[in-house]
Homo-oligomer: A and B are copies of this chain.
């Protein structure tokens, strides 16, 4: 069948990057998992994802000069496979890798994910390290010209080289042994190098072969719309934006991106709007701060991600979540969009506002999301023919962020919104 994992709804979870950068440790992962199990799990949140450079010794120690230290020491086995750095992940010693941490998370009823970089460690190629299950060595499958433009750790593999598929197979076998449920592969989605397209296919094949269902998530974006079929066929999630952060200049363009990708959302396939930089973020980047988004912008972001049905990955540190943010993330009516709605489509978008419509087949309800993209508060008048009804008159509308219900008394619907704000009506 098409995907070895069945994802009836978009994945929901937490990712270490926005708060910890490269520096997260085992205890910090556990603390976030504990928090999720206690406060978020019941609302559908379940993935705990360790992001980039868990294998790097001294990660973050030269943060003023390098996000990723060039030619730094990495934890690696004899088969060219990276392992968690034991300084930060002490339970990994003795060749256990992420097994014990995954087990801890599974016991909480949650799922465990890791970040990987496309390719094979550069050091493995230069030292002619082995490739498991073959008589090949890393230098025979590594492509010295296939490098990532922003991280110095890996070489891409040569898809045609004997041993390349076996290398990816050996990785997925290892991750399956560890109990990994979610793979976020980086430096691959945007296809910066031509072989990346083939490497996506090789990853998918390796996951199918390994026997354990694992979600395949591709980064960074923007994904190429011309390659939508390739993503849909071989992956579960793919980033439709470059790294997303807490600034309106990143949020505004997401409306165009969602417009472009709206027809590619469906079971097992979720174009990905990237992490939610809410609560406390930025510590590892030397800039710990509450999110710079206003409350209205956070509502706008959540509304768009949910009606579009993007995966939801919290970027802020869970143990520091304030009440308002916790409520933002646990509004059951809003999260229903993610789980129950289908066929969401943009009805209108101009410089000032944007309107989406979606449908909940189970409850036979419509969701109408209205966004104010302008720099001023505004009133938007919506004609019934835009939403393909005859009149708004007498329609009972519930705004699901506020929970307020009203009976519309006019043919048109008038929506008043603050600057950068949004409302979602259910009817």
A153's closest neighbor in chain B, by CB? B144
Q: Contact: B126 with A71, CB < 8 Å?
A: yes
Known: A152-B144, A228-B263, A229-B259. A139 touches B1 (CB 8 A): no
Q: Contact: B147 with A70, CB < 8 Å?
A: no
Total interface residues in chain A, CB < 8 Å? 32
Q: Contact: A260 with B226, CB < 8 Å?
A: yes
Q: Contact: B126 with A1, CB < 8 Å?
A: no
* A229 contact from B143, B144, B262, Cβ within 8 A: B262
Cα-based distance from A139 to B125 in the complex (angstroms): 16
Q: Contact: B1 with A144, CB < 8 Å?
A: no
Cα-based distance from A126 to B150 in the complex (angstroms): 18
* A225 contact from B70, B139, B150, B226, Cβ within 8 A: B226
Known: A152-B145, A388-B2. A139 touches B70 (CB 8 A): yes
Chain B contacts of A263 at CB under 8 A?
Answer: 228, 263-264
Chain B contacts of A216 at CB under 8 A?
Answer: none
CB distance from A389 to the nearest CB of B (A): 11
Q: Which of A123, A145, A264 has the most CB of B within 10 A?
A: A145
Q: Contact: B70 with A125, CB < 8 Å?
A: yes
Q: Contact: A388 with B229, CB < 8 Å?
A: no
Q: Contact: A149 with B142, CB < 8 Å?
A: no
Chain B contacts of A127 at CB under 8 A?
Answer: 126
Encode contact with B along A102-137: 1 for CB under 8 Å, 0 otherwise.
000000000000000000001101111000000000
Q: Contact: B122 with A388, CB < 8 Å?
A: no
* A142 contact from B70, B225, B259, Cβ within 8 A: B70
Chain B contacts of A122 at CB under 8 A?
Answer: 126, 144
Q: Which of A2, A126, A143 has the most CB of B within 10 A?
A: A126
Q: Contact: A388 with B259, CB < 8 Å?
A: no
Cα-based distance from A143 to B128 in the complex (angstroms): 22
CB distance from A327 to the nearest CB of B (A): 33
Tell me if A385 is interfacial: C-beta within 8 Å of chain B. yes
Tell me if A346 is interfacial: C-beta within 8 Å of chain B. yes
A122's closest neighbor in chain B, by CB? B126
Cα-based distance from A196 to B159 in the complex (angstroms): 31
Cα-based distance from A260 to B263 in the complex (angstroms): 12
* A123 contact from B1, B126, B145, B149, Cβ within 8 A: B126
Cα-based distance from A260 to B128 in the complex (angstroms): 41
Cα-based distance from A349 to B234 in the complex (angstroms): 13
Chain B contacts of A385 at CB under 8 A?
Answer: 1
CB distance from A114 to the nearest CB of B (A): 23
Q: Contact: A71 with B229, CB < 8 Å?
A: no
Known: A126-B123, A264-B263, A388-B1. A144 touches B71 (CB 8 A): yes
Chain B contacts of A228 at CB under 8 A?
Answer: 260, 263
A264's closest neighbor in chain B, by CB? B263
CB distance from A348 to the nearest CB of B (A): 8
Known: A71-B128, A123-B126, A144-B147. A229 touches B260 (CB 8 A): yes
Chain B contacts of A264 at CB under 8 A?
Answer: 263
Q: Which of A128, A150, A228 has the most CB of B within 10 A?
A: A228
Top-9 shortest CB links A-B = A144-B152, A71-B139, A263-B263, A70-B144, A126-B126, A229-B259, A225-B225, A71-B125, A226-B260
The 20 sampled A-B contact pairs (Cβ below 8 Å) are A1-B385, A2-B388, A70-B142, A70-B144, A71-B126, A71-B142, A123-B126, A126-B126, A144-B147, A144-B152, A145-B147, A147-B147, A225-B225, A225-B226, A225-B260, A228-B260, A228-B263, A229-B259, A229-B346, A263-B263
Excluding A1-B388, A71-B139, A147-B147, 7 further A-B contacts by CB distance (< 8 Å) are: A2-B388, A71-B128, A123-B126, A126-B126, A145-B152, A226-B260, A229-B260
